[in-house]
Structure 1
Amino acid sequence: MTPHEETVSPVVLYVCADRARGVPGEATQRAQKEGRAFARERGLTIAEVVTDTYGEPDPARRRGWRRVRQLAQTGDVTAVLVRWPSAIAPESASELRHREAAWLHDQGVRVRYTWPPLSSRG
């Protein structure tokens, strides 16, 4: 499938990169820019950009991730765009990442990674 063969679908761009609240830092800006380019290249529509401060390992305890779950549960999005797996949960808590990905899958929502080495895997 070429990038332009995907249907226009609403997605949520989830960014969990900065370690401090306030003005988005370089990591957040890079993740947002990359996510927007990923969506544009594939004809996806970003319905909402949701951000969290990096540090809490359990995504269910983050306000932004709870918003992502709400959008998935209501059927408002078909995919969650995230830069890389550790934005959902760090390697030290990979079981939480798998739990969340499985829950999203059960809602009919895919997790798509926007970082080029991961995005090329489909």
Structure 2
Amino acid sequence: MAVLYVCADRGTQMRGLAADRAESEGRAFAEQHGLTVTEVVTDAYGDPHPTRRPGWLRVRALAEAGTVSQVLVRWPAAIAPDAAREFQGREIRWLESRGARVRYTWAPLANAAVR
């Protein structure tokens, strides 16, 4: 079972385009890899600290409960911006310690090992 987490910029020109792309990409990735997406969780892009976002807290709760074994995100910056890489690593380790593997759905990263 997998949760698809979408945290994308809500641009002013084409509102929702980035989030829509991230979701459709994530669903395609799940289908390609035989994963069942049980929930799509979204957050507005902005706060660099993942544990201050309600959607990310939901992802953590699902992992803590053992409800999901996979967390699908488009790329590391969906967890935390590159300027806050320490949060990316911390959150990935936290999820892994609860048996949830983080997978990137963006094609250039889809086969890369998560660090």
Q: Scaled by the length of structure 1, what TM-score is found?
A: 0.87
| Correspondence 1:57 to 2:65 | no
- 1:57-88 Cα offsets, whole Å, 9 max, x none, are 00000000000000000000001000000000
Say which SS state the counterpart of residue 51 (structure 1) adopts: strand
| Correspondence 1:88 to 2:61 | no
1:101 — aligned with what?
Answer: 92
For 1:65 and 1:19, how far apart are their aligned partners in 2? 17
Say which SS state the counterpart of residue 117 (structure 1) adopts: helix
2:110 — aligned with what?
Answer: 119
2:37 — aligned with what?
Answer: 46
**Structure 1 ranges of 4+ moved more than 6 A:** none
Unaligned runs of 5+ in 1: 1-9
- 1:39-70 Cα offsets, whole Å, 9 max, x none, are 00111000100000001000000000000000
Say which SS state the counterpart of residue 5 (structure 2) adopts: strand
User: Does structure 2 retain, via aligned residues, the 8 Å contact 1:79–1:112?
Assistant: yes
- Alignment RMSD (CA, Å): 1.2
Unaligned runs of 5+ in 2: none
User: Does structure 2 retain, via aligned residues, the 8 Å contact 1:18–1:53?
Assistant: yes
Tell me the number of residue pairs that the alignment of Structure 1 and Structure 2 aligns: 110
